[in-house]
Structure 1
Amino acid sequence: MIEINQLSKKYKGADFFSVTDLDLSISKKEIFGLLGPNGAGKTTVISLLCSLIKPTSGSFTIDGLTYKKNKNQLKQLIGIVPQEYALYPTLTAFENLQYFGSMYGLKGTELKAKINAALETLGLSQFSHKKIDTFSGGMKRRINLIASILHDPKVLFLDEPSVGVDVQSKNVIINYLKELNKKGTTIIYTSHHLNEAESFCTKVAIIDHGKIVTQGSPKDLINNQPNANNLEDVFLALTGSALRDHA
């Protein structure tokens, strides 16, 4: 589904590359976790693949489409759930979803049916006509997710989809994503919740300093790392325990 070849990105004015000569292949229907410390390059990779920023060098394809030749078609293939809420706070949940759905060409009864079905599945039907600024964090996360999947994307990018939410909301979100994946959606996921990634992802890559240091199924990575009992042990062994704070 995704082929990345020698992809690099250096931001204007930066001293170092955020991503360097990245090679990666992600299969269809994969739940692929892109994991790494703060500043490792995860969000840059996601931003490149979503065509939000241009690569300095290298290339990638999504379902055979390239950024240079098929930019508009490529954007129709993908859904993006950003780390920050991408919603209009003074609009209702339904109004937000109507707006975002219309941006993908959905309208009328088809759009209304898709919105109502997703709201029902994610336990938000009774709040559909409430303004977003009255919602809890977990409710906003669920609306954010719905906004990204109304057009049935082939690839869904998730940047910290369960950060700052209660256990119940997190459980609903993860189960919903698993159902989407069963129906054929390829999922690219970043998170600092390594226990969640271990149980959720079919395959992960750990990135540090803009380069992939290892990749494979969570089970294989744990088995291949001496004295590792879980994915967090693998992560710390390969990226170190030093703080990665940056501003």
Structure 2
Amino acid sequence: MTLIQSRDNAFFKLLKKLAESGRERRKQGLTLLDGAHLVRAYEAAIGPVERLVVAETALKSPEIAALTAGRAPTLLSDALMRELGLVDTPSGVLALIPLSPTAPTVDLAADAVLLDGVQDPGNVGTLLRTAAAAGVRQVWLSPGCAAAWSPKVLRAGQGAHFVLDIVEDADLMRCVAEYRGQVAVTCLDGATSLYEAVWQGPLAWVFGAEGLGVSPALIAAADHRIKIPMPGAVESLNVGAAAAVCLFEALRRRLG
């Protein structure tokens, strides 16, 4: 196994660029997974990662030792692993994978989640994870959303990426116009309570940017304007929490 200790090493410089730059990820066609859980999830759903990178002392971990058994990972000094800055507390193992490793498909007659300008990577990852947990198989992201395959979004998604069809830079107005089910947006003006709203068939949920909400054009194009009743002392929910409430209410009805 090769041990890299210098920040002048060419491979470390590549890792640093991939960790920090969406442009570099697009140029190289690569991104980074952080953590043994994500590596196992990727390999279970898609196949072997291109390359494993392990912090020097992380091999003492039974989990990481088991993950690297029979492989020849690249070793980074602990200081260099921290310098990559993917998370405050590095997991000790990274993997290189292709950027968007599978070609997404679009099914305009199946349930979907549409994200309108959601910029926070943690929120985008949480929304992908929630969609996957609720049984939704496709998510369409407008321009202006955080890059779905960035390391921070991948970490927040906790493996959801590998079971979803994710379309980035989607024209959401066109998606809504062509969608063969019903479209629901979360908003306040003229909205019906989530628990009183009636819908049938496939449903596409539109969730909007933090603070701004769904764009007026998408609200106007939707079949349903939905609000979540909040009798407590706060007036709004984080977009990830709001999506979880809506998606699992829809799931409850379907299962019921």
Structure showing greater Rg? 2
TM-score by length of 2: 0.24
Higher relative contact order (CA 8 A, sep 6+): 1
TM-score by length of 1: 0.25
